[in-house]
Structures are given as structure tokens and as C-alpha cells.
Amino acid sequence: MKIFQAPTLANIDGAAAVREAQRLIGRQVALPARRAFLQRSLTLGGLSLLTGCSISDDAHVEAALARISRFNDRAQALLFDPAQLAPTYTDAQITRPFPFNAYYGEDEVRVVEEAGYRLEVSGMVAVRHAWTLAELRAMPQHDQITRHICVEGWSAIGKWGGVRFADFLHRIGADTSAQYVGFKCADDYFTSIDMPTALHPQTLLALTYDGLPLPPKYGFPMKLRMPTKLGYKNPKHIMAMFVTNTYSGGYWEDQGYNWFGGS
């Protein structure tokens, strides 16, 4: 089935076209979470990128959605203001208890022992030192109370403390002209972020939650906390990081979620 026969939106019933595209995507994209995400995020503006493409088979769906996602990444990167701060809140506004979220159940939370833990650093950095938690805790610490926004539609306010990631990147001599910073985690999660977000003043290597050492369910020994990103961009149980110009995707991003992931 062809939604558009020519590269124009003239004389198109926009609402009907979007509904039809959502129906077809819902039928043909197998992963339920991804299907719901794509159906919610599809608009006529995104659908216009499908001009001339059939969305009646998986190959065309995948190619078209990849084009939309790349367009969204570029648009969000252009709109991102590295000096614009996300809203902050008071202790009284903290969500208690703060929700657990992961791609697995809470009974499967990975336990990382502090003894022997080292944060491995590689890529475009001058200092490839493996960092202990004691060394990270000895760096200047900062607290923030910010809102976590989940792609599934819920949000929660939490208090995070740790090292400003920009300070850490400068300490290790990271090449801040590089495009990406990638992360590998103890729970087999992985993701990557853009350098402007890495340098944002509210991006934290979070070591504490609500004034106490980060609990395992929130990502011990550390998570990357970014109030400017959606929740799936905030990796937990971080074991290694690397600075690179090579795109490395992410656990959810490789399944179709938007890579930039701005909130």
C-alpha cells in the first residue's frame, strides 16, 4: 500500500494519513514497547519523510523509521542549548519512593561489589586511569533535585549527587571536540550520548541518591544522571566509558528508539 504517490502533501488528509501509518506500524513492528513509542511519536511532519515509500513491509518500515530518527536526532541537536538548565525542585517535592525502572524486573537488579570496582576509561582521552569509587568521591560533589522523564509517559523527581561529568571529562583529558561518549554497564545495558550533553552543567556521574550511597536498584556504583535526556539515556551500573567519534548506538536505540533522546 502506498500512502503517498508523489513527493507532496497537497490534498492529503493529514489526520487520516497519520492514523493509517500508526495502524500499519502497530501491526508490523513486533516489539511492543517500540511499537507504542513509534505510534505515539509519529506525526504528519515525520510521516512526510515517508514520501514515495511503501510502509506495507518490514524493510520499508525500518528504512523509513531510520530516516525519521536521524532527522529527529539532527533537529534535537540543533535545538539543544548547552547553557539552558532543566528545572530543579525542593526536598518536599521528591517522589517517594522513587520508581525503579529497567529492562528487567527489580528482583533481577545487578549487584556490583565496591571492593575491586574500577571505572574503565578509554578512547580519546589523555589519562586512561581506572577510577575507584574513593577517588571519585574525593572529587568535588554536587547535588541536584531534578525530574526523571520516562519515554513510557511517567515522571518522578529525585535527588542525585555526584561529580559533574564535565569536570570528570576535563580531569581525564577527554577530547571535548569528539562527537560521542559511550557507556557499558554491569547489567549489559549500553548507550552513548552527544558531547554537548556530556558537558552540560547538570550532567552528573551520580554516586548518591537522597544523600546516601546510590542503592543497587538505582544503579550502584554509579549512574549517569541527565535531566536533559529521557530516562533510557541515563545508564546505571556503569563499568566503562569511552570518548569517540564512532557512533555506537545503544540498547534501546538499536531497537528503534530515538538516539538523541532529549526530554
CA dihedral 184, 189, 194, 199 (to 10 degrees): -60
Which residue in this structure is represented by grid cell 549517569?
224
- What's the pLDDT score for residue 203? 98
Q: Which residue has the higher pLDDT, 73 or 66?
A: 73
- What CA–CA distance (Å, rounded) separates 74 from 90? 34
pLDDT of 233 above 70: yes
Strand pairing of 212-213 and 142-149?
A: unpaired
- Give the separation between CA 139 and CA 41, rounded to whole angstroms: 40
- The pLDDT score that the predictor gives to residue 9 is 39
User: In this prediction, what percent of the chain has a pLDDT beyond 70?
Assistant: 73
* Residues composing the chain: 263
Burial (Cβ within 10 Å: 0-12, 13-18, ≥19) of residue 144: buried
Of 18-22, 119-123, 204-208, the one with minimum mean pLDDT is 18-22
Question: Which amino acid belongs to residue 242?
Answer: F
d(CA 62, CA 68): 10
| Average pLDDT over all residues of the chain | 84
**Contact of 240 with 122, CB cutoff 8 Å:** yes
- Predicted confidence band of residue 3 (pLDDT cuts 50, 70, 90): very low
pLDDT of residue 78: 72
pLDDT at residue 48, as a whole number: 42
**Higher model confidence: residue 51 or residue 75?**
75
pTM metric for this prediction: 0.76
Look at residues 68, 24, 77, 62 and name the one whose alpha carbon lies nearest to residue 45.
Answer: 68
Q: Which residue has the higher pLDDT, 167 or 2?
A: 167
- State pLDDT tens for residues 98-135: 999 999 999 999 999 999 999 999 999 999 999 999 99
Q: What is the pLDDT of residues 146-174, one digit of tens each?
A: 999 999 999 999 999 999 999 999 999 99
Cβ(191)–Cβ(232) below 8 Å: yes
Among 109, 108, 96, which residue's Cα sits nearest to residue 221? 109
pLDDT class of 82 with cuts at 50, 70, 90: confident
